[in-house]
Structure 1
Amino acid sequence: MSKLAGKSCVVTGAGGGIGYAIAARFAEEGAHVAMLDIKEDMVKEAAAKLPGGRGHAYVTDVSDRKAVKQAIDDFAEKQGGLDVLVNNAVMFYYAPLTDMPEDIVDRMLDVGIKGTFWALQAATPHLIRRGGGSVINLSSVAVSFAVKHAAVYSSIKGALDALTRQQAVELGAHGIRVNALAPGPVSTPGANSVIDPEGWKNRQARTPLRRLATAEEIGAAALFLVSDEAASIAGVTLKIDAGITVAGP
């Protein structure tokens, strides 16, 4: 029996990488998925690949509060409600903190933090009307140890960890479970833009299992967290990292 049959889910940054893997896994389990992404061609192509016509593309800049609300409201109205929100959208840029351009820092904060705020604001009323639901924020193992030149990225992910705990308490009374996933290094187009082949080799060598997690494994973990099997899990940041966190940098 499909775990998400009849459910409606929103995934931000779903045009590729981890966001797409999560959306695809949800659709395989019977959910209709709103896929929000700023890249029009990519998100439309990604939505078309989901089974059963259950992918719904929304070309959306998550830093635009009105656009996010419009997309989520439209999807929830068409689906008769909303059950799940996954805040995955992120911008990658690694550089020494002293060299980070102001416009890049602003954009990273707008996407990573404001984008999450706006999606939560838009989705929460629909989740409450549904009588409960699930939210997943995408954190990172970069919160647990220092990653070279990732000060801004790591700070954003640390903020999302704090937000996860805060919202788990605030929304729990409404039957809304808020958790986070903290992937280890995962080879995606975004990650590949800031990690070179030598960096990937070094990360794999540090990992106890001597392998890196895949986007599909992150999708499987997301499915678990939003399913009834995780009904008592709230305020948790679940690491999917092949053990790299316990091994240390």
Structure 2
Amino acid sequence: MNDLISGGTPDYLSLLRLQGRGFVVLGAGQGIGEQATHALAQAGARLLCVDRDEELARQIADAVGGVPCVADVTSRAEMQRVFDTARQHFGRVHGMVDIIGVAGIKALSAVDDAGWEQQFDIVLRHAFLAIQIGGEMMAADGGGSMAFVGSMSGNRAVPNQSAYATSKAALHHLVRCAGVEYAGRGVRVNAVAPGYVRTPRLNERLDEDAWNAIGKVIPIGRPATPAEIAGPLLFLASDLSAHITGEVIAVDGGAGSVAAFPDVKFAASKTPTP
């Protein structure tokens, strides 16, 4: 880190390593969370593996030598317990990676009050609690990094995802605001915004025809794997991203850069006859 600040040539690989640092992973049990947990562990982090499902929390903790933790992190008391547990085990919390978020897929006209509130609890409220509780703890202990999983639907209108997309858009802005607010206290706050990812949950809902159709509108030609989202999360957790905060990085195979217009053929322009 000193070489980064002084302008010398750093050991770049060492900046990726998280040797001995304590990290909390929210939603560690499967999909992107499982792969992010493995990525952090391979970089040397000590991990508190948080999931609502006790069996999933135990399995991933066993796989990476971490500590399992079962919690409903939409509760302030539960989120406080998560970070207190991490500090007790690791002495200090250096960072957090948060994958939690479930998409309610239905037309906006079909979303009732309870569904709207549940969507915002799952996506936004827990992130607010994580930043307020975990961010304050990290700031008091010397700084750290927080990386969230947003969504391409928080940047673009996606059919039948209005409630989910709005909650993700709010998460993106919370990340920007928190990144600026905590920057002077040594805590970086960032997010990645994936497009479609072949997670276990989506694999249950989409068949191969649907995946093939999705791949056709992604410039790279296919949806992401969970590991391809875990890589950028590791980058944001590490000192390689030391000068990045308040950012939402698209990891969508280029889908967000494509205009949704048909590929039409234009007639050749004609040179006027004098």
Work out whether the TM-score is over 0.5: yes
Deviation at residue 49 of structure 1 after TM alignment? 1.3
Q: Which runs of 5+ in 2 are unaligned?
A: 1-13, 261-274
SS at structure 2 position matched to 1:91 = coil
SS at structure 2 position matched to 1:136 = strand
Deviation at residue 196 of structure 1 after TM alignment? 4.5
Deviation at residue 210 of structure 1 after TM alignment? 0.7
Indicate which of 64, 80, 97 corresponds to 1:69: 80
CA distance in 1, matches of 2:138, 2:259: 38
Larger Rg: 2
Q: 1:138·1:160 contact (CA, 8 Å) conserved in 2? A: no
Q: 1:108-160 CA distances to partner (integer Å, 9 max, x unpaired)?
A: 21111111111112212321133111111211111222211111111111001
Deviation at residue 226 of structure 1 after TM alignment? 1.5
Structure-2 residue corresponding to 1:154? 165
Q: 1:97·1:151 contact (CA, 8 Å) conserved in 2? A: yes
Q: Which moved more, 1:158-167 or 1:2-11?
A: 2-11
CA distance in 2, matches of 1:138, 1:210: 22
Number of residues of Structure 1 aligned to a counterpart in Structure 2: 246
Structure-2 residue corresponding to 1:49? 63
* Alpha carbons of structure 1 residues 101 and 199: separation in structure 2 relative to 1, 3 Å: farther
CA distance in 1, matches of 2:206, 2:23: 31
Q: Which runs of 5+ in 1 are unaligned?
A: none
Indicate which of 214, 217, 228 corresponds to 1:203: 214
Structure-2 residue corresponding to 1:174? 185
In the alignment, structure 1 residue 187 sits paired with structure 2 residue 201: no
Q: 2:23·2:86 contact (CA, 8 Å) conserved in 1? A: no
SS at structure 2 position matched to 1:137 = strand
Deviation at residue 10 of structure 1 after TM alignment? 0.9
* Alpha carbons of structure 1 residues 197 and 149: separation in structure 2 relative to 1, 3 Å: farther
Identity of aligned residues (%): 30
Indicate which of 54, 75, 81 corresponds to 2:92: 81
CA distance in 1, matches of 2:49, 2:128: 17
Deviation at residue 169 of structure 1 after TM alignment? 1.0
CA distance in 1, matches of 2:213, 2:167: 24
Structure-2 residue corresponding to 1:100? 111
SS at structure 2 position matched to 1:145 = coil
Structure-1 residue corresponding to 2:26? 12
CA distance in 2, matches of 1:34, 1:142: 29
In the alignment, structure 1 residue 30 sits paired with structure 2 residue 41: no
TM-score with structure 1 setting the length: 0.93
CA RMSD of aligned residues (A): 1.6
SS at structure 2 position matched to 1:57 = strand
SS at structure 1 position matched to 2:215 = helix
CA distance in 1, matches of 2:241, 2:195: 21
Give the partner amino acid of 2:133.
Answer: A
Structure-2 residue corresponding to 1:239? 250
Q: 1:92·1:193 contact (CA, 8 Å) conserved in 2? A: no
CA distance in 1, matches of 2:39, 2:218: 26
SS at structure 2 position matched to 1:208 = coil
Once the two structures are superposed, the pairs formed by residues 211-230 of structure 1 within 5 Å of their partners are 211-230=222-241
TM-score with structure 2 setting the length: 0.85
SS at structure 1 position matched to 2:193 = strand
Q: Which moved more, 1:139-148 or 1:192-201?
A: 192-201
SS at structure 1 position matched to 2:148 = strand
